A and B are shown apart, each in its own frame.
Chain A
Amino acid sequence: MAERAKLIRALKKHTNSWLILGLLGAAVILLPLVPIILGLFKAPNENWQHITQYLLAGYLLNSLQLVALTGFFTVTLGVCLAWLIAAYDFPLRRFFRWALLLPLAVPPYIAAYTYSTMFSYTGIVQKTLRSFDVTPNPKWFGVLSMRGAVFIFTLCLFPYVYMIARSFFERQSGSYIENAMLLGRGPAAVFFRVALPLARPAIAGGVALVVFEVLGDYGVTSYYGVHTISTAIFQTWFGMYDVDSAIRLAAYLMIGTVGLFLVERWVRRNRRFSSSTSKMRPLAPRRLKGGWSWAAGLFCGSVFAWSFLFPVVQLGVWASWTFESVFTPAFGELIIRTVSLALLATVIIMFFAVIVANLHRTNANPFTSALSRWVTAGYSVPGAIVAIGVLACFIGLDRVLAPFYAVLGLGKAPLVLSMSLVMLVVAYVVRFMATGFNAVEAGFERVGTKFTEVSRTLGFGMTRTFLRVDLPLIKGAIFSGIVLTFVEIVKELPLAMLLRPFNFETLATKAYQYANDEKIFEAAVPSLLIIGVSMIAVYVLNQVGKEAGE
């Protein structure tokens, strides 16, 4: 009896518009995953037999190979660079410190067609070699393969590992490393015996981002003809028109990524503990001497050149050739449409992100922490899964709404919602909620709950407190959340490719379309625009990192 009264009291206490809106946001994110989970329980069709017998093993192997190789190379490159920048001083170090983040502004699919053209027989690399009378075997440059995909992913994605590992080395490892040095260990021993083991959780966090990105990729793998589970989903869907099998494939992929997600959590389970033990002394970089310092500078310089400078300059040259023919009024319209679509989705994301983050912060209990974990799960779900889930949902919704459409005189069983932009917006919300949420949560964490509690005791409810106190204090965090989310959406390819209404293009799909039609030079203009917008996000990321360090 007393327990029941208490339960009712708790329900009354917590039920407000914030909770209801938070649950609504969670439902939006849950719905697209329902058809996929249900798909596992349906009886498989004949096609599925064929897929498992002849194709699945190959897809699976390719996916695993891609993930393993990219993971290995991004970790090697990212950690080496992070350690070099954090522990040593050499010419141009301060420039490279942030410039090595810039490759994040180049979406892998853009790097993919840029590099494949640069390395082709008529591309700049082979041409230059021939002008020196070197005629290489064109086979050496065959990037259209697994090798090429790994190369592209490594160049574009290593900054995730670099960024997280560097900030860990700079902020948290100082006293341990100085201690190790005082104990007379050489630089190699310090790196392998102290720095690397300490940084393992941070590195795991970075490589998890890389893996999710690779598993979710559509642009690079399909352009390079590497068949992975993700591309297989698209193929069974659009090539064989077999949605059921596509859903089943998506379900398997999801089980895999959920597993990875849990492993990542498990590896990082002590992260909070390790960072809160005490105030850590920052690591003071040591000067490198003579040849070593030039070698370090050269190494950073060549990574920067290959991952950012070369492709961007090449795109710039191509863009200057085609600018006039591409930049028509219709293209201007395309930009406006892309921006407004991204803004709309961003606003919705930030709205729910703020609601759930504030709920979790003011009522920290198992329910709200499950809620916040739930809304951020989308970033680990590959685009192909989100796309097919959203589509299945909306087709179902159209079926349910059919009598209503009939009343409106739209005809018998029309596809209204599933032919509209609503679907794409929902997919963006599912996929990128985490980006907005993490930014908002970081802002709330910095402010704490003190001011909110003061405001509550002064007679302001949750909503008024949020508007008068919390919002002004976290507006910087909300702003960076808006920028980061907006940019993610602008450069997003697979969801837009799959869910856009007929004849609707975004900058990303336009660029990809050009590239697919072998109009690489035309693709350069939208590509550069996307890279330009993404550079703003890199700047914001860098700023956020600085603030967090203060």
Chain B
Amino acid sequence: MSVVDVKNVSFAYAGNRVPVIQSLSFSVDERAIVGILGASGSGKSTLLRIIAGLETPCEGSITIAGRTVVDARTFVQPENRGVGMVFQDYGLFPHLTVAQNITFGLHRLPREQRQKRLAAMAELVQLEGYEGRFPHELSGGQQQRVALARALAPQPSILLMDEPFSNLDAALKQSIRQELSDILRRAKMTCLLVTHDEQDVEAICDRTLRLS
């Protein structure tokens, strides 16, 4: 069964005549990890933003977990789409601790379950003992793992990742790539991953989607 269905989606930024994305269709199966490749400026980030509900396509429809989130008459707000997103520069809230960042999206859970989920997430990304720190007290790789834990915590139906490795140096990238692959598979996550790097795709992804 497919988790995400993108049908004939076209998009242009306001004031631009040339569309960034034109009649794009694809679907992502459950638990698949799909790499999105393409040259700089080909619309990779834009595609993720459309799926997350941060931009509105001018044509086409998107279905997530069997529910239409956008078509000509529907628009589901990003907070109601059940989509997790890891941004390129992570966007960790600077005024919140690691624990508060990770539990941010769990406001609908009772307190006890929230703590349980925090512990599970910290274990998953191997950050036990860092819960009280603030983002600026973490290394780049640790920040990335917090962002990942935060996006996974509310158990989204799909995880969107925009160039998760671009802020890491080559050596760190090697180890984290493997780690990420393990984490995603352990969490049984469906994932769309934007990258520049063919090696990322080989190491992590089940299949690729090329934007031009």
- Bound-state CA distance A468–B104 (Å) is 9
What are 10 A-B contacts with C-beta separation under 8 Å?
A: A13-B75, A451-B93, A453-B52, A453-B54, A457-B52, A457-B79, A457-B84, A458-B105, A459-B105, A459-B107
Contact residues of B: prevailing secondary structure: loop
Is B97's beta carbon under 8 Å from chain A? no
Scoring B72, B83, B85, B154 by chain A CB atoms within 10 A of each residue's CB, the highest score goes to: B72
Is B53's beta carbon under 8 Å from chain A? yes
Q: Are B77 and A9 in contact (CB-based, < 8 A)?
A: no
- Bound-state CA distance A228–B85 (Å) is 60
- The one of A9, A12, A364, A456 that contacts B79, using a Cβ cutoff of 8 Å: A456
Is A365's beta carbon under 8 Å from chain B? yes
Scoring A6, A12, A364, A454 by chain B CB atoms within 10 A of each residue's CB, the highest score goes to: A454
Q: Are B87 and A9 in contact (CB-based, < 8 A)?
A: no
Q: Are A459 and B79 in contact (CB-based, < 8 A)?
A: yes
Q: Which residues on B sit within 8 Å (CB–CB) of A461?
A: 77, 79
Task: Digitize B84-116: 1 where CB-to-A-CB distance is under 8 Å, 0 elsewhere.
Answer: 110101010111000000001101100000000
Task: Digitize B127-158: 1 where CB-to-A-CB distance is under 8 Å, 0 elsewhere.
Answer: 00000000000000000000000110010000
Q: Are B75 and A9 in contact (CB-based, < 8 A)?
A: yes
Is B73's beta carbon under 8 Å from chain A? yes
- The one of B52, B74, B79, B84 that contacts A460, using a Cβ cutoff of 8 Å: B79
Q: Which residues on B sit within 8 Å (CB–CB) of A365?
A: 14
Is A43's beta carbon under 8 Å from chain B? no
Question: Which B residues from 50 to 91 make CB contacts under 8 A with A?
Answer: 52-54, 56, 58, 72-75, 77-81, 83-85, 87, 89, 91
Q: Which residues on A sit within 8 Å (CB–CB) of B80?
A: 459
Q: Are B77 and A456 in contact (CB-based, < 8 A)?
A: yes
A-B contact count (CB 8 A): 77
Is A188's beta carbon under 8 Å from chain B? no
In the complex, how many angstroms separate the beta carbon of A76 from the nearest chain B beta carbon?
Answer: 41
Is A455's beta carbon under 8 Å from chain B? yes
Q: Which residues on A sit within 8 Å (CB–CB) of B74?
A: 9
- The one of B72, B87, B93 that contacts A469, using a Cβ cutoff of 8 Å: B93
Q: Are B91 and A456 in contact (CB-based, < 8 A)?
A: no
Q: Which residues on A sit within 8 Å (CB–CB) of B84?
A: 457-458
Scoring B14, B89, B95, B154 by chain A CB atoms within 10 A of each residue's CB, the highest score goes to: B95
Q: Are B87 and A450 in contact (CB-based, < 8 A)?
A: yes
Please, which residue of chain A has its CB at the minimum distance from the CB of B147?
A454
- Interface residue tally for chain A (C-beta within 8 Å): 26
Q: Are A455 and B104 in contact (CB-based, < 8 A)?
A: yes
In the complex, how many angstroms separate the beta carbon of B159 from the nearest chain A beta carbon?
Answer: 10
Q: Are A473 and B78 in contact (CB-based, < 8 A)?
A: no
Is A2's beta carbon under 8 Å from chain B? yes
- The one of A8, A454, A458, A464 that contacts B73, using a Cβ cutoff of 8 Å: A8
In the complex, how many angstroms separate the beta carbon of B71 from the nearest chain A beta carbon?
Answer: 8
Q: Are A457 and B78 in contact (CB-based, < 8 A)?
A: yes
Q: Which residues on A sit within 8 Å (CB–CB) of B95?
A: 472-473
Q: Are A454 and B85 in contact (CB-based, < 8 A)?
A: yes
- Bound-state CA distance A10–B53 (Å) is 13
Is A182's beta carbon under 8 Å from chain B? no
Q: Which residues on B sit within 8 Å (CB–CB) of A469?
A: 93
Is A5's beta carbon under 8 Å from chain B? yes
Q: Which residues on B sit within 8 Å (CB–CB) of A473?
A: 94-95
Question: Which A residues from 347 to 375 make CB contacts under 8 A with B?
Answer: 364-365
Q: Which residues on A sit within 8 Å (CB–CB) of B79?
A: 456-461
**Other CB < 8 Å A-B pairs besides A365-B14, A454-B85, 14 of them?**
A8-B73, A9-B72, A9-B73, A12-B75, A453-B78, A454-B87, A456-B79, A457-B78, A457-B79, A457-B84, A457-B151, A459-B154, A460-B105, A464-B107
Q: Are B108 and A457 in contact (CB-based, < 8 A)?
A: no
- Bound-state CA distance A449–B130 (Å) is 27
In the complex, how many angstroms separate the beta carbon of A443 from the nearest chain B beta carbon?
Answer: 14
Q: Which residues on A sit within 8 Å (CB–CB) of B150?
A: 458
- Bound-state CA distance A464–B108 (Å) is 13
Q: Are B87 and A5 in contact (CB-based, < 8 A)?
A: no
- Bound-state CA distance A473–B96 (Å) is 10
Given contacts A365-B14, A454-B85, A473-B95, contact A460 B73 (CB under 8 A): no
- Bound-state CA distance A383–B56 (Å) is 43
Q: Are A6 and B72 in contact (CB-based, < 8 A)?
A: yes
Q: Are A456 and B14 in contact (CB-based, < 8 A)?
A: no
- Bound-state CA distance A10–B14 (Å) is 14
Please, which residue of chain A has its CB at the minimum distance from the CB of B100?
A468
- Bound-state CA distance A84–B113 (Å) is 64
- The one of A13, A455, A456, A458 that contacts B56, using a Cβ cutoff of 8 Å: A13
Which 4 residue pairs of A and B lie closest in terms of their CB atoms, listed nearest first?
A458-B105, A456-B78, A454-B91, A457-B85
Please, which residue of chain A has its CB at the minimum distance from the CB of B70?
A9
In the complex, how many angstroms separate the beta carbon of B23 from the nearest chain A beta carbon?
Answer: 15
Q: Which residues on A sit within 8 Å (CB–CB) of B93?
A: 451, 454-455, 469
Scoring A9, A364, A450, A458 by chain B CB atoms within 10 A of each residue's CB, the highest score goes to: A458
Q: Which residues on B sit within 8 Å (CB–CB) of A10?
A: 56, 75
Please, which residue of chain B has its CB at the minimum distance from the CB of A473?
B95
Please, which residue of chain A has its CB at the minimum distance from the CB of B85?
A457
Q: Which residues on B sit within 8 Å (CB–CB) of A455?
A: 93, 104
Q: Are B91 and A451 in contact (CB-based, < 8 A)?
A: yes
- The one of B75, B77, B91, B107 that contacts A453, using a Cβ cutoff of 8 Å: B91
- Bound-state CA distance A365–B56 (Å) is 13
Q: Which residues on A sit within 8 Å (CB–CB) of B151?
A: 457-458
- Bound-state CA distance A468–B103 (Å) is 13
- Bound-state CA distance A89–B187 (Å) is 63
Please, which residue of chain A has its CB at the minimum distance from the CB of B84?
A457
In the complex, how many angstroms separate the beta carbon of A175 from the nearest chain B beta carbon?
Answer: 28
Scoring B79, B81, B104 by chain A CB atoms within 10 A of each residue's CB, the highest score goes to: B79
Given contacts A5-B73, A9-B73, A12-B75, contact A460 B107 (CB under 8 A): yes
- Bound-state CA distance A2–B77 (Å) is 21
